Structure 1
Amino acid sequence: MQYPSLNIGLIGFGMAGQVFHAPLISAVAGLNLYKVSARKEEQQSILRSKYPNTQICTSAEEIIHDPKVDLVVIATSNDVHFSLTKTALLAGKHVVVEKPFTNTTEEADELIALAKQQQQVLSVFHSARWHSDYLTVKDILTNGALGRLVTYEVRYDRFRNYLRPNAWREHDLPGSGIFYDLGAHLIDQSLQLFGKPQALFASLRKMREGVGAVDDFEMLLYYPRLKVSLKGSMLIKEPTPRFALYGTEGAFVKPGVDPQEEALKAGKTPLNTTDWGAEPEEIWGILHTTAQRPDARRKIPSQRGNYPAYYENVRDAIHGITDLMVKPEEARTVIQLLELGEQSARERRIIDLP
């Protein structure tokens, strides 16, 4: 059956809109990048150059209240995720919102209830579920090569020893800092693999001179006979293992990062890249097991990263031919753990989950 193409209205054309959403939407069949809000002249210039058939506007309202828009994508600063999503749902639009979903669980609950009332698809862009490294780890765990997993460690680091001028993520605002930015990805991946933990502990720090927002975090998730450690920092110059999994029958240690973000920043897209999402062999992970055979320690070819699969799923969910993969209820649990992590750091104690 042939389904009509969906008109996409993208609100926000900063880094997230330019690097992730616009290229991915344009690469997925059945999606039309119809209208984009961009206030700055340099953003409008990029739009005219790269997406000449896309309409440019300067306000979110011009997208939300356009009857031709089917799906609103919100790629703005975190402080307006809730208000713009609510307005779009009330206008009868399907919505994709950048992660983190909202700044509080109460806001998330309100949007989930509203989406159900309006009978609209609501999803959150938890794109790290389609990272090459995570997909490889998921496959390793499914195959059971490690026996019973006892320790799961993952890092999401950057190195920037200066503050970006006028960057809202550097300021002490609700939802700013790398805990809500990078930590949200790691929490979502852990929830997908292991479900909700019994308890958590978090240490949140501001390490760079003059920074207003958290730029270093460590979170421990407590499961029966499993320790999960999630870390991130803005001051990691020398790369550390991205994933380190230790089980009763062996270990899997994975360096490097998924290549899709850097490819998108370099102007590549799934449409013009034949090996999209493929990792170079030098960052494949090492699997070392207790098996009594010559290949007990070997490199494991990484799965291909696949960002476009997110939008393909949203498209099909809107047409009613598949279930939504990133459900708002799952994104709401991520926000809950972020909030509890902040409480744990303030009170310097382990928090039991309800």
Structure 2
Amino acid sequence: MSTPIKTGLCSYGHSGYAFHAPFIHVHPGFELTAVVERSKHLTQQRYPYVKIYNDVKALMADASLELIVVNTPNYTHYEYTKAALQAGKNVIVEKPFTVTVAQGEELIQLAASKKLLLSVYQNRRFDSDYKIVRKVVEDGLLGDVLEVEFHYDRFKEELSYKKHKEVAEAGTGVLYDLGSHLIDQGLTIFGMPQAVWGDVRIIRKDSVVDDYFELVMYYDQLRVRLKSSYLVREALPAYILHGRKGSFIKSKSDIQEALLMKGVLPDTPDWGAEAPHEWGLLHTEINGKVVKEFIPSGNGNYLDYYQGIYSALREGKPNPVTAEDGLNVIRVIEATFKSSEEKRVVTL
């Protein structure tokens, strides 16, 4: 195998602990080299070989680093990604890519001018539940898909302990946070819509950021409805799809985050396997015969994203999630806010 990709993390909060460090650690093509931690130095409890920096600027200046992961609050994504690219580093930036389309376009041009990889970490493409939904559609098991509804709901009246998530400024709120996942999943299967309608609201008592949204992406015959709310105690299925031949109903059941938060490393053969009671219900017609059965999901695995990054940097293969993909999500977010404010459908 080629020289490991020396990688630096801009933070070691929830994202660094669960979604990045474990996969960089177990993939033999990467080396978790440095992390920014201002005080606690928790990284070295699990990865004692890692260098600790007190600030992002020092991380950027580390000449040994080939790849930097920008996994800091949303409003910093543009600034830190730009600084990393200017320092000659390849970059993975957490979703949402940027706060505005203009910021994203500038970063894409900068990365291209320096011939550097710029990728957006859309890990939910590698969830077991989403992967089977995408396969059902792409295998044509529903015929022409006409109506789709994706949910990402929570029940949490209290505000987040992460103060930066509850400040009324650009880039905060559920549409940027959970909406980035749902929009990316919709776009990855169905492509860019012709228009968007949106309803974005604040429903928790003490919140100053949006914590509810519903948006509809318009295609020729298809409508894709995406919803998220922080006040859903009894959740609906996460994926509901209806086509000319049949329907597919699926729960949100990927187990990776729960395992990662317990400190389990993603290095077992059965990693990301769903329990059979979470399998999706397919009710359709195949070769003239009506079929109604629960079908098994494949394993979810965020390591597939990092394998894609390795293949892109070492083997010249395609970027697993391009910055253009990330930019399209921001286009839909901006259109959804505009639609909600003006109470109309917005053409893209």
Give the TM bin, normalised by the shorter chain.
over 0.9
Amino acid at match of 2:316: I
Instruction: From the superposition, tell whether residues 248 and 172 of structure 1 become closer, same or farther in structure 2 (CA, over 3 Å).
Output: same
Quote how far apart the aligned CAs of 1:127 are.
Answer: 0.8
CA distance in 2, matches of 1:267, 1:321: 33
Q: Which residue of 1 aligns with 2:295?
A: 300
Aligned match of 1:314 in 304, 309, 333? 309
CA distance in 1, matches of 2:163, 2:99: 18
Q: Which residue of 2 aligns with 1:186?
A: 182
CA distance in 2, matches of 1:291, 1:303: 21
Within 5 Å, give how 1:7-22 maps onto structure 2. Answer: 7-22=6-21
Quote how far apart the aligned CAs of 1:27 are.
Answer: 1.8
CA distance in 2, matches of 1:226, 1:346: 24
Amino acid at match of 1:269: L
Q: Which residue of 2 aligns with 1:235?
A: 231
SS at match of 1:157: coil
Quote how far apart the aligned CAs of 1:292 are.
Answer: 8.1
- Give the TM-score taking structure 2 as reference length: 0.97
Within 5 Å, give how 1:216-231 maps onto structure 2. Answer: 216-231=212-227
Runs of at least 5 residues in structure 1 that lack an aligned partner in the other structure: none
Aligned match of 2:150 in 148, 154, 157? 154
SS at match of 1:319: helix
The reply to whether residue 138 of structure 1 matches residue 127 of structure 2 is no
CA distance in 1, matches of 2:304, 2:251: 24
The reply to whether residue 278 of structure 1 matches residue 277 of structure 2 is no
Quote how far apart the aligned CAs of 1:293 are.
Answer: 8.0
CA distance in 1, matches of 2:340, 2:26: 41
Aligned match of 1:75 in 56, 68, 71? 71
Aligned match of 2:342 in 320, 325, 347? 347
SS at match of 2:116: coil
Aligned match of 1:129 in 116, 125, 131? 125
Q: Which residue of 2 aligns with 1:176?
A: 172
CA distance in 2, matches of 1:30, 1:292: 45
Quote how far apart the aligned CAs of 1:274 are.
Answer: 3.3
Instruction: From the superposition, tell whether residues 270 and 194 of structure 1 become closer, same or farther in structure 2 (CA, over 3 Å).
Output: same
**Contact 2:194 2:347 survives alignment (8 Å):** yes
SS at match of 2:341: helix
Please tell me the root mean square deviation across aligned C-alpha atoms, in Å. 1.4
Instruction: From the superposition, tell whether residues 274 and 292 of structure 1 become closer, same or farther in structure 2 (CA, over 3 Å).
Output: closer
CA distance in 1, matches of 2:313, 2:64: 15
Quote how far apart the aligned CAs of 1:99 are.
Answer: 0.5
Runs of at least 5 residues in structure 2 that lack an aligned partner in the other structure: none
SS at match of 1:141: helix
Quote how far apart the aligned CAs of 1:164 are.
Answer: 2.4
Deviations 1:55-96 (A, max 9, x none): 111111111111101101111001111011111101100000
The reply to whether residue 118 of structure 1 matches residue 114 of structure 2 is yes
The reply to whether residue 85 of structure 1 matches residue 81 of structure 2 is yes
Instruction: From the superposition, tell whether residues 244 and 281 of structure 1 become closer, same or farther in structure 2 (CA, over 3 Å).
Output: same
The reply to whether residue 269 of structure 1 matches residue 293 of structure 2 is no
Moved more, 104-113 or 19-28: 19-28
Sequence identity (%): 38
- Give the TM-score taking structure 1 as reference length: 0.95
Q: Which residue of 2 aligns with 1:109?
A: 105
CA distance in 2, matches of 1:323, 1:289: 35
CA distance in 1, matches of 2:287, 2:73: 53
SS at match of 1:108: helix
CA distance in 2, matches of 1:166, 1:53: 28
Quote how far apart the aligned CAs of 1:239 are.
Answer: 2.2
Moved more, 14-23 or 105-114: 14-23
SS at match of 2:264: coil
Q: Which residue of 1 aligns with 2:36?
A: 37
Aligned match of 2:322 in 327, 341, 345? 327
**Contact 2:141 2:286 survives alignment (8 Å):** no
